[in-house]
Amino acid sequence: MIHGFRDAIPIVVAYVPIAMTFGVLAASSGIPWPLCILISACIYAGASQFMLISLVSTGASPLSMAITLLLVNLRHFLYGTTLGPVFSSWPERLKWLAAFGLTDEVFAVSCRALDRRPNPSYQFALILSCYIAWISGTTVGCLTGRAIPNSVSGILQFSLPALFIALLFLNYRKWTSLLAAACGAGLAILFQYLELKSLGIIVGAMVGSAIGTLCSKWRTSPSE
Amino acid sequence: MLGVLGVTVIVGVGTYLIRAGSLSLGGRMTWPAWLREWFVFVTPAVLGALLGPEIFLPNQHGIFLWNNKTFLASIPTGIVAWCSRNLLLTVMVGVLCFAALSYLLS
């Protein structure tokens, strides 16, 4: 259990400011502070939470918001292929309990501990530490965000597109990924012109990712 | 806000089921390579779909770039992001540029 708390420290240090940023942006976007905390408590996934704020700001329909965010979180299905064999000895109910706290960062730390075959007490110490950090940061952020004047919150709203640009250029630097992003952008812009904004985000996501996948396969297929 | 509450619950439950299903099925599932690749490209495609209208159509209609402070601020933001690979620096530079442009273009 002690190792779990120890290994959680780097994640906790990263989570607190990010969660506070989410809280500030969500509150200054007009989301009530209890709902801000509920978002962090229920969804518990950084990128999709920030995307939720952006979708709320653009007035997307609830259905397109839900579909888009679930599409983004579908990648979590891949965790099982790496961690599944390690957790195979666990009772089923403990697996389902541990799954709630399986964020990208917790997954990465759990992978580093694979050779030690993490036991439930280690995993739950890791998960609980990170979850408390996330909720605490959100709480502080959204209570602070309510006090920010409108003139400042208008400027702060640009931190969302700045964050998305940063995420794109830090993590997706291959031309196939940038092409997927460009296709997503082009289609979303086109659909907004057609007054079909909500549909545009989903179409942009689906078609953009398909084009990225096809180009990646074309690039790696053996030449004749 | 009722819609946001509904989305929160649906996405929260859905994300949990994705994570729980993945651990429960574990290594028993073998995903085809094309599907694993597709998962990887969904996030950049969604980021693009969110950024496109935000940067080029901030007023929901018409592309006017010369007095579009979101577009203009995105240029140094993108350059800093690509060159520095530093998330915090990128966001700080972006917000500062946006603030400066808001003052200059007001």
Q: Do B31 and A100 touch (CB under 8 A)?
A: no
A30: DSSP letter: T
Distance CA A48, CA A71 (A): 10
Q: Give me the pLDDT at residue A14, please.
A: 81
Q: Give me the pLDDT at residue A224, please.
A: 43
CB A25 within 8 A of CB A50: yes
Query: Which residue of B5, B9, B13, B19 to mutate against A (max A Cβ within 10 Å)?
Result: B19
Residues A178 and A144 placed together within one structural domain of the fold: no
Residues B74 and B90 placed together within one structural domain of the fold: yes
CB atoms within 10 A of CB A18: 21
Which residue in the set A54, A58, A162 is minimally distant from B77, CB to CB? Answer: A162
Distance CA A199, CA B4 (A): 17
Residues B26 and B75 placed together within one structural domain of the fold: no
Q: How far is A84 from chain B (nearest CA, A)?
A: 4
Residues B25 and B44 placed together within one structural domain of the fold: no
Residues B64-97, buried b or exposed e (16+ Cβ, 10 A)? eeeebbbbbbbebbbebbeeeeebeebbebbbbb
Number of domains present in the structure of chain B: 2
Q: Do B95 and A208 touch (CB under 8 A)?
A: no
Interchain CB contact of A180 with B (< 8 Å) = yes
Query: Of chain A residues 42-101, which have a CB less than 8 A from chain B?
Result: 42-45, 47-48, 51-52, 54-56, 58, 61-62, 65-66, 68-81, 83-85, 87-88, 92, 95-96, 98-100
- Give the torsion sign (CA, A160, A161, A162, A168): positive
Residues B47 and B94 placed together within one structural domain of the fold: yes
Last residue of a domain, one of A97, A125, A153: A153
pLDDT tens for residues A15-72? 888 899 899 989 888 899 999 999 999 999 888 899 999 899 888 889 989 999 998 8
Q: Do A213 and B37 touch (CB under 8 A)?
A: yes
Residues B26 and B60 placed together within one structural domain of the fold: no
Residues A4-15, buried b or exposed e (16+ Cβ, 10 A)? beebbeebbeeb
- Helix, strand, coil shares of chain B, percent, nearest 5, are 80, 0, 20
Number of domains present in the structure of chain A: 2
Residues A18 and A128 placed together within one structural domain of the fold: yes
**Domain region containing A199:** 172-224
CB A112 within 8 A of CB A86: no
B97 confidence band (pLDDT: 50, 70, 90): very high
Residues B42 and B79 placed together within one structural domain of the fold: yes
pLDDT tens for residues B43-87? 899 899 989 988 988 765 566 677 788 999 999 999 999 999 988
Start-to-end CA span in chain A (Å): 55
**Domain region containing B48:** 33-105
Which one is predicted more confidently, A95 or A15?
A15
Q: Do B12 and A98 touch (CB under 8 A)?
A: no
CB B12 within 8 A of CB A42: yes
Residues B26 and B37 placed together within one structural domain of the fold: no
CB atoms within 10 A of CB A78: 18
CB atoms within 10 A of CB A216: 21
Residues B3 and B16 placed together within one structural domain of the fold: yes
Interchain CB contact of B18 with A (< 8 Å) = yes
User: Chain B contacts of A62, Cβ < 8 Å?
Assistant: 3-4, 6-7
CB B101 within 8 A of CB B72: yes
Tokens representing A188 are 């979303």
Residues B96 and B62 placed together within one structural domain of the fold: yes
Q: Do A74 and B42 touch (CB under 8 A)?
A: yes
A90-104, A199-213, B44-58, B92-106: least confident range: A90-104
Distance CA B38, CA A12 (A): 30
Residues A11 and A85 placed together within one structural domain of the fold: yes
Query: Of chain B residues 44-63, which have a CB less than 8 A from chain A?
Result: 44-57, 60-61
Q: How far is A175 from chain B (nearest CA, A)?
A: 11
Residues B41 and B15 placed together within one structural domain of the fold: no
What is the residue-averaged pLDDT of chain B? Answer: 85
Last residue of a domain, one of A126, A153, A180: A153
